Structure 1
Amino acid sequence: MLQRRDTLKNSEQELRIFRMRSLLAVFVVLTLTAILMGRLAYLQVVQHDLYSTRSENNRVRVEPLPPTRGLIYDREGRLLAENRPTYNLTLVRERVDDLDDTLTLLVELLELPDEDVEAFQVRSRQRQRPYQPALLMSDLDEDQIARVAVNRHRLPGVEVEAQLLRFYPHAEIMAHALGYVGRINVDELKTLDSGRYAGTHFIGKTGVERFYEDELHGQAGLRKVETNARGRVLRELGRVDPVPGENLTLTLDLEMQQLAYDLLDGRRGSIVALEPGTGEILAMVSAPGFDSNQFVTGIDIASYRGLQEDLDLPLFNRAIRGHYPPGSTIKPFLALAGLVEGVITPDRAIHDPGYYQLPNDSRRYRNWLRWGHGRVDMERSIAVSNNTYYYSLAHDLGIDRLHKNMSAFGFGQRVAHDVQGESTALMPSREWKRERFNQAWYPGETLSVGIGQGYWQVTPLQLASATATLANRGHWIKPRLAQQVGDEPLPVQLPDALADIELVNEDWWERVYSGMEKVVSGNEGTARRIGTGLQYRMGGKSGTAQVFSLGQDQRYNADELEERLRDHALFMAFAPLDDPQIAVAVIVENAGGGSTHAAHLARAMTDAWLLEPEENDRDVEAILESEE
């Protein structure tokens, strides 16, 4: 007998299972589709620019074309700053697979010394605009170029670029006036126009290079090239040529600059020479100098530390930032102030017993000649540099009128048009002392100002500019370093110049000039030694500036002092008197008396500018020997 089946097919249950499985399958398919569509949307929409750029970069690349920096010439067309071809190593971080491995390989290939490795790595990580090359190393030699080329397949994003590099053929004597270019740093990168400076690695850092950066730099261009998978350029698809920078012609004369540097003969100091009628700076030297070419590609740490720690401060521009008491060089200016304010007349005389005393004050303010000069009028006071006359004059003028009249000559102010980094130095006043020290002004301080000591400080450029204004009979022309930018000459009368100094009696100029001429040509002149054989009329004034103050009864003895505590030697001059063509200011630090150690340098500068070579038979060695 057949057994009955207990289990029958359950269609309803099977249908339910089928539906559940179908829904699950649909859900999985829809989820995967949604994920795929989302990913496609993300890649096609959100990251379209990125992948479009990457795709295009596999075939087309846009390369910046840096402009050629303008050249710099002296007034005679002699080259002062040029561009020489060189090879730079650059890196585009966005094209590098592994930055650390790439840098390690480069250090090995280039055989960099340990002290340069850190700087090399810092430059590689310095902030750059996307897809802009970072400058890793400049001025590669042939061996380094060859090693990078052989291993180029291992160095994606690394390129060796042929570019022009700044070079200064007269680096040491022109370092302070010209300045130098250097690598663009992170702070500069934030402010520079990305289009104009595309592909540019250098920018003016100091001096003329910095002041005229906009004119010298030019405008970057670009080119579009097709490349293969390895990045090799196949053809050029388009180009926008760069616009080169303007050439710059300076007022400086290379021969005058060289002469001034040679005359200082390794001593600390400065010489500035101007053309009074135009304000053109003929020479502006600060000594010692330094090799500015070291800073173009990046000076090494040891060399930079050596310059910083040098006691002679070669990096310090004394011509525009050195602060010196002007000493007796300011006596002609004070004499004019006395005439303007009606305190003196040209013929009024005093009796000098060798000292001056304030009313009701026992202290004696001594003349440099301890037994005095006897009867002294204005012209003789300049010729013999009588201190007593100017103690009396300063007391009668008072600090307020002193400050007003000396400010009219540019003391205590920036005087030049295009001298980057110029200091104001200090023309003291009653208000200045109150703000600086919260103290009143004392009469004895006025006397110190009257002989160019105390708080009063000038720069060599200020002293030369004031001398030029004096030579111009009060006509004020701003000193400038640029004669011509491109094809455009700078105007003689520049904006923001000080007002001209006008005298009630024009004859007063001649009387002051007469006193200055007697300094170099008179029987009693403090610098009469330089008047021997003079072929033109010259006016000058010596100065000796104390580095520290002496007590009332102390006498100065240079032999007993450390060299850096000795007096500074100063001299200012212009010539010829009847038609001034040159104004000079000389400062030699810790050299001693200005009439002995600075006057002959000023004479050499005026001779070089005014005389033909065959008329000027003294060489530098002979001039320096005359000092001894």
Structure 2
Amino acid sequence: MTELKNTERELQHFRLRLLVAVGFVVVCFGLLASRFWYLQVANHDAYAARAEQNRISVVPITPHRGVVVDRNGTLLARNYSAYTLEITPSKIRGKLEETIDRLGEVVQIDARDRRRFRQLLGESRRFESLPIRSRLTDEEVARFAAHAYRFPGVEIRARLLRSYPQAETAAHVIGYIGRISQRDLNRLEEDGLIANYRGTDYIGKEGLEKSYEAVLHGKTGVEEVEVTASGRAVRTLSRTPPVPGKNLILSIDLELQKIAEAAFGDRRGALVAIEPATGDILAFVSRPSFDPNLFVDGIDVESWKALNESPDHPLINRPLYGTYPIGSTYKPFMALAGLELGKRTATWTMYDPGFFEFGDRRYRNSGERAYGTIDMKRALEVSSDTYFYSLAADLGVDAIHDFMKPFGFGQITGIDLGGEKTGILPSTTWKRRAYSKPEQQRWYAGETISIGVGQGYNSFTLLQLAQATSVLANDGIYMKPHLVKSVQDSITGEQTLTVPHESYRIPLKPENVQAVKQAMTSVTKSGTAARAFAGAPYVAAGKTGTAQVYSLRSGERYNASKIDERLRDHALFMAFAPAEQPRIAVALIVENAGWGATVAAPIARQVFDFWLLGKRPGEPAPPTPQPMEASGD
């Protein structure tokens, strides 16, 4: 039986399927159209910017760091171009140590390089490029280039490196740079400066490199480069050049600095020389010193251990951080205080029996010498402790504090180095704040006595003593001490003075200042420093000093040969010259060296001879010195 087709029904089914298919196609095209509208219209700007970013690579251009020169233009910190071999740990395939071993077969990598690299690795992130070898030769660069395909994640980079050509000389002044740490990044982020350090790996860590970082660094430039999908550069679209850092012209005289440093020999100590009229620091010595070049690429463990664990503490900036009792170098300021506050006149006399009695205690002269009848000039000339014990008792500690403060004792001088210590200029208020127990807070009259000879609670930096000496030489005019004389624009050459004018003036009577200066000249002519300045063609005004490191027990006599070397007295000296029109003021300390007259004063003589006469050590000796009458400090 033949089955007849239902054509009409099949046609309806076909139409239904066709309708469904058309609807599906329309929905699909609708979805595509809506997605296209979303991408091309609604989010056009965002995706266009992203595409542009993929097409354009923004590359930071590191600025040239400013150089540092002394007052005569001699380089103290410079830049030079060199090749470095660098590893990006995150890109290394396999074990890092094995890669370094294989690298050592191509380019020499010694144990010190490995230790320094491991230290940097611990301080950095794995995606950062870290140097394992610096200053590659052209031969080493060519050798690695031939084997570069074997070392993914390792590359040769041309960098501007920092160098300190004077090595240990003035190292505490210049400081050094080092790789930017996470702490540095956090600080830059807080200060809003992080963008200016894109592409920069180094930052100032110590000294002027740190305190003048914002001046030396410059401004980072940018370069927009069109790249392919694979990252290959096609062309440069735009370029904003970097602005190089400014140069620092120091007040330091390198030759004077070298002579002063050499004068200390192997002894520990500090020296600061200042030009009174300007506040220029001519020499800034801290002995022993260190080589700042060790820190640029990251110091190795052995070198760091040697410096950090040395009993001589070469990393400590002694003029800035070290605080000392300054002994008899305090006496000229005490004498001036007595004159200005009306407690003494220049002609007032007293009898010095070799001691000063206060209450039931005797305060003795150094060496227990008795000088008989003395006035202020004689007291400074022979360094009579008794005279200044008496003066301190008459003045009182608060009057001494108030008079000494404007000279800079116990104050921040404002020098352009960070971390300056305040020291201690004692007063009744200071003691109440320094101690917690009521019996400790009370000031006892007997404590004032030793203040008068620079001992007791007195504790000052060598910089403060040098600055006070400079202010005295400058008749009370306070010029802020500074190491950077001027900042120079590296493009235009224009220079800007850092200290263009005086800070303030201490109201001193000229006749009183002159009386103290004349007494100080007698110290170098016939007093405790006469031997050191015998035959000098100029007149210097100075004062020797010897400061106790520890207190003797009652009845105990000082015997240096029976005391540990580091417990012996410090030798000090302060002076300026020429006395009538000072061009240089100096303060120095030689730690645990004994008498200031025999150890410290001769160093100042070498400094004065070079600065005033151009005479270097070893040139014809002065005439035979005359016998020295005094036997004090």
For normalisation by structure 2, the TM-score amounts to: 0.85
State the AA in 1 paired with 2:536.
L
Q: Which residue of 2 aligns with 1:426?
A: 424
State the AA in 2 paired with 1:568.
H
Q: 1:153 to 1:229 in 2, by over 3 A?
A: farther
Return the offset for 1:480. Answer: 1.0
Q: Which residue of 2 aligns with 1:201?
A: 201
Q: Which residue of 2 aligns with 1:500?
A: 505
Is it true that 1:181 corresponds to 2:177 in the alignment? yes
Distance 1:69 1:138 in 2: 22
Q: Are the counterparts in 2 of residues 330 and 452 from structure 1 also a CA contact under 8 Å? A: yes
Larger displacement relative to structure 2 (276-285 or 550-559): 550-559
Q: 1:475 to 1:117 in 2, by over 3 A?
A: closer
Match of 1:79 among 66, 75, 82: 75
Secondary structure at the aligned position of 2:587 is classed as strand
State the AA in 1 paired with 2:372.
G
Q: Which residue of 1 aligns with 2:276?
A: 276
Distance 2:620 2:248 in 1: 33
Secondary structure at the aligned position of 2:323 is classed as coil
Larger displacement relative to structure 2 (439-448 or 218-227): 218-227
Q: Are the counterparts in 1 of residues 222 and 242 from structure 2 also a CA contact under 8 Å? A: yes
Larger displacement relative to structure 2 (584-593 or 158-167): 158-167
Return the offset for 1:334. Answer: 0.3
Match of 1:370 among 368, 371, 376: 368
State the AA in 2 paired with 1:243.
V
Deviations 1:228-259 (A, max 9, x none): 67655454443222111112111100000000
Q: 1:447 to 1:353 in 2, by over 3 A?
A: same
Distance 1:182 1:544 in 2: 39
Q: Are the counterparts in 1 of residues 364 and 386 from structure 2 also a CA contact under 8 Å? A: yes
Q: For residues 440-455 of structure 1, what are the structure 2 equivalents within 5 Å?
A: 440-455=442-457
Distance 2:102 2:232 in 1: 21
Cα-Cα RMSD: 3.8
Which ranges of structure 2 fall in alignment gaps of 5 or more residues?
2-8, 489-493, 626-633
Distance 1:54 1:149 in 2: 31
Deviations 1:62-111 (A, max 9, x none): 32211111111111111111111112456789xx7x56649567534543
Q: For residues 564-603 of structure 1, what are the structure 2 equivalents within 5 Å?
A: 564-603=566-605
Return the offset for 1:560. Answer: 0.2
Distance 2:308 2:586 in 1: 29
Q: 1:64 to 1:580 in 2, by over 3 A?
A: same
Q: Which residue of 1 aligns with 2:394?
A: 396
Deviations 1:154-186 (A, max 9, x none): 666765331211101112012101111111111
Is it true that 1:343 corresponds to 2:340 in the alignment? no
Deviations 1:299-328 (A, max 9, x none): 112211221101100000001111111100
State the AA in 1 paired with 2:525.
S
Distance 2:576 2:368 in 1: 30
Q: For residues 230-241 of structure 1, what are the structure 2 equivalents within 5 Å?
A: 231=231, 233=233, 235-241=235-241
Secondary structure at the aligned position of 2:516 is classed as helix
Q: 1:50 to 1:366 in 2, by over 3 A?
A: farther
State the AA in 2 paired with 1:287.
R
State the AA in 1 paired with 2:215.
E
Q: For residues 21-40 of structure 1, what are the structure 2 equivalents within 5 Å?
A: none
State the AA in 2 paired with 1:139.
S
Distance 1:466 1:325 in 2: 15
State the AA in 2 paired with 1:365.
Y
Return the offset for 1:462. Answer: 1.0
Q: Which residue of 1 aligns with 2:136?
A: 141
Secondary structure at the aligned position of 1:172 is classed as coil
Is it true that 1:490 corresponds to 2:494 in the alignment? no
Q: Are the counterparts in 2 of residues 607 and 616 from structure 1 also a CA contact under 8 Å? A: no
Deviations 1:130-165 (A, max 9, x none): xxx644446252466446534555666765331211
Q: 1:120 to 1:584 in 2, by over 3 A?
A: closer
State the AA in 2 paired with 1:488.
Q
Q: Are the counterparts in 1 of residues 340 and 512 from structure 2 also a CA contact under 8 Å? A: no
Secondary structure at the aligned position of 2:168 is classed as helix
Q: Which residue of 2 aligns with 1:550?
A: 552
Q: Are the counterparts in 2 of residues 109 and 148 from structure 1 also a CA contact under 8 Å? A: no
Match of 1:517 among 494, 500, 521: 521
For normalisation by structure 1, the TM-score amounts to: 0.85
Is it true that 1:169 corresponds to 2:156 in the alignment? no
Q: Are the counterparts in 1 of residues 269 and 589 from structure 2 also a CA contact under 8 Å? A: yes
Q: Are the counterparts in 1 of residues 220 and 243 from structure 2 also a CA contact under 8 Å? A: yes
Distance 2:69 2:121 in 1: 37
Q: Which residue of 1 aligns with 2:403?
A: 405
Q: Which residue of 1 aligns with 2:612?
A: 610
Distance 1:348 1:427 in 2: 27
Distance 2:380 2:530 in 1: 13
Figure out how many residues of one structure are paired with residues of the other and give that number: 598
